[in-house]
Amino acid sequence: MLSFVNTNQFASTLDEVKDDIPKFEIVNYEYSGGEATLDSSKGKIIFTNDEVNTKDAFISFQKQGIEIQNMTEDYLSYSSFDKFKNDQELKNYIDTHKNSATFFFVVYSIIQIIVMSAFVFTILLLLSFILNKVAEIKNKRTDYMNWFKIISYSFVIPSVIFAVIEFVTHREFWWVYVFVIIFLTYYYKKLPELKKKRKPSI
The pLDDT tens digits of the residues spanning 108-167 come to: 788 888 988 899 899 989 999 999 999 999 888 888 999 999 998 888 888 888 888 887
Q: Supply the pTM of this predicted model.
A: 0.52
Query: What residue segments make up the domains of the chain, in order of their start?
Result: 4-101, 104-190
DSSP E strand boundaries for 114-170: none
Task: Give strand pairing partners of 32.
Answer: 25
Who's near 197: CB < 8 A, 6+ residues apart? none
Strands 65-68, 57-61: pairing is: antiparallel
The pLDDT tens digits of the residues spanning 1-60 come to: 566 667 778 888 899 999 999 999 999 989 999 999 999 988 899 999 987 766 778 899
The DSSP element (H or E) to which 9 belongs, if any, is helix 4-16
